[in-house]
């Protein structure tokens, strides 16, 4: 906004100045001749009138952070077999599977994945259901795709025991990204502060359970389980550490069921009523679930799968190939309150017949190189996702 300051010289003073300069003389001047005033010192009306001076005041916008969240990364044998082919049998390369979503992840300040499986310990081959263990190269591909962090609390977190957790977190360290939900030490499971755009953010992660695998009695802190009292206590601790924004990832819901369960709704209401949490994102159902405000807090109940190979011709419905990357902007006001914009949904679909690639649905529908057959499946996938979260879908 431009502001103008106008300075006016009073006319009386100006006239007096002119009279004084023309009619008065000093005691040592000659009375027979008028003093000569050099042209450069002549005072004119134009010079005496002050022109407006424009000044611009720039008000800095309040600090904000843009974030992206995606659903389950669930590694089945078909995926690691494809990753071997991608690397010509010399280890595993999962990066082509994520290539199509990388531009979107790179466009935000901070991207969060959900890793539902641990990494297989050294000397162990990859494994699938019921006890998952993914190749270690997966974490590097996740980081390379543009993810900055993952939630890791899931019902499969304990599938490979303590060594599986240790191996998984070692790979996160090597890839240079962070996680929440698993721990090697009691301190590691505690809330942490991440600084993003100068804002202190805390991201917490919890799972409904661990498929009847008990937490170690001597190390119950190995993975975080959903308990509203615990989550609220962790959020309080995060705030005490200086967190200005708190985001919670919840591994919950009923597998293959798009409807939100009573368990999900009950826990969502309990934790958002605390006033300590700014955003809730969920996964585990393997299908897209609704987005709505609970106690005024945006809650993404189910992000679906972002990368998996569930047998859709058998026990699992076709919508287990559907997922969504949800982007959202959080703004910190001067009074410390957080404003969260309406979430934006970017639908995804796993193309199991073309390299197990994650496709951004709306982008690939406009891509002339994508085959007509794939586009037909993308339209079907988009219709399924739109049925659940249509008002949140944006053009890519």
Looking up residue 219, the CATH number of its domain turns out to be: 3.60.21.10
Q: Which whole number is the average pLDDT over 3-10?
A: 35
| Domain co-membership, 302 together with 229 | yes
| Domain co-membership, 220 together with 347 | yes
pTM of the predicted model, to two decimals?
Answer: 0.85
Share of the chain above pLDDT 70, in %: 86
| Domain co-membership, 162 together with 258 | yes
| Domain co-membership, 20 together with 149 | no
Residues in a beta bridge with 182:
223
| Domain co-membership, 169 together with 224 | yes
199 or 35, which is more confident? 199
| Domain co-membership, 325 together with 254 | yes
Number of domains in the chain: 2
Sequence-separated (6 or more) residues with CB below 8 Å from residue 331: 62, 63, 64, 338, 339, 340, 341
3-state secondary structure the chain: CEEEECCCCCHHHHHHHHHHHHHCCCCCCCCCCCCCCCHHHCCCHHHHCCCCEEEECCCCCCCEEEEEEEEEECCCHHHHHHHHHHCCCCCCCCHHHHCCCHHHHHCCCEEEEEECCCECCCCCCCECCCCCEECCHHHHHHHHCCCCEEECCCCCCCCCHHHHHHHHHHHHHHHCCEEECECCCCHHHCCCCEEECCEEEEEEEEECCCCCCCCCCCCCCCECECCHHHHHHHHHHHHHCCCCEEEEEEECCCCCCCCCCHHHHHHHHHHHCCCCCCEEEEECCCCECCEEEECCEEEECCEEEEECCCCCCCCCCHHHHEEEEEEEEEEECCCCCEEECCCEEEEEEEECCCCCEEEEHHHHHCCCCCCHHHHHHHHHHHHHHHHHHHHHECCC
| Domain co-membership, 83 together with 175 | yes
| Domain co-membership, 157 together with 221 | yes
Confidence at 396, pLDDT banded by 50, 70, 90: low
Q: Which whole number is the average pLDDT over 100-123?
A: 98
| Domain co-membership, 292 together with 195 | yes
Query: pLDDT tens across 152-188, in order?
Result: 999 999 999 999 999 999 999 999 999 999 999 999 9
| Domain co-membership, 75 together with 46 | no
| Domain co-membership, 134 together with 184 | yes
| Domain co-membership, 39 together with 175 | no
Domain containing residue 312? 64-392
Q: Which whole number is the average pLDDT over 29-38?
A: 40
User: Residue 55: what pLDDT?
Assistant: 60
């Amino acid at each position: 906004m431009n502001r103008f300051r106008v300075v006016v010289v009073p006319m009386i003073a100006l006239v007096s100045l002119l009279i004084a300069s023309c009619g008065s003389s000093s005691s040592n001047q000659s009375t027979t001749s008028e003093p000569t005033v050099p042209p450069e010192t002549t005072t004119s009306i134009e010079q005496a009138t002050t022109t407006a001076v424009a000044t611009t005041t720039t008000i800095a916008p309040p600090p904000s952070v843009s974030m992206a969240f995606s659903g389950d990364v669930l590694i089945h044998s078909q995926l690691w077999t494809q990753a071997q082919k991608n690397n010509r049998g010399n280890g595993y390369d999962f990066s082509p599977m994520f290539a199509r979503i990388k531009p979107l992840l790179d466009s935000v300040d901070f991207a969060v994945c959900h890793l539902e499986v641990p990494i297989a310990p050294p000397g162990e081959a990859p494994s699938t259901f019921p006890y998952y263990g993914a190749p270690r190269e997966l974490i590097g591909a996740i980081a390379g795709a543009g993810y900055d962090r993952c939630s890791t609390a899931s019902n499969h977190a304990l599938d490979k025991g303590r060594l599986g957790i240790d191996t998984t977190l070692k790979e996160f360290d090597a890839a240079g990204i962070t996680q929440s939900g698993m721990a090697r030490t009691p301190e590691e499971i505690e809330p942490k502060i991440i600084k993003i755009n100068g804002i202190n953010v805390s991201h917490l992660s919890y799972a409904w359970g661990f498929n009847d695998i008990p937490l170690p009695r001597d190390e119950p802190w190995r993975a975080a389980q959903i308990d509203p009292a615990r989550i609220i206590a962790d959020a309080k601790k995060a705030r005490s550490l200086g967190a200005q924004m708190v985001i919670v990832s919840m591994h919950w819901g009923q597998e293959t069921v798009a409807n939100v369960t009573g368990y999900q709704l009950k826990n969502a209401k309990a934790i958002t009523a605390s006033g300590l949490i700014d955003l809730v994102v969920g996964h585990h159902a393997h299908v897209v679930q609704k987005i709505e405000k609970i106690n005024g807090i945006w809650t993404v109940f189910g992000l679906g799968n972002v990368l998996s190979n569930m047998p859709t011709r058998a026990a699992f419905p076709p919508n287990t190939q559907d997922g969504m990357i949800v982007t959202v902007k959080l703004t910190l006001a001067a009074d410390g309150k957080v404003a969260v914009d309406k979430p934006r949904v970017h639908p995804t679909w796993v193309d199991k017949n073309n390299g197990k690639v994650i496709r951004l649905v709306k982008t690939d529908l406009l891509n002339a190189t994508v085959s007509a057959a794939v586009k037909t499946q993308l339209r079907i996938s988009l219709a399924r996702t739109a049925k659940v979260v249509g008002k949140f879908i944006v053009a890519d």
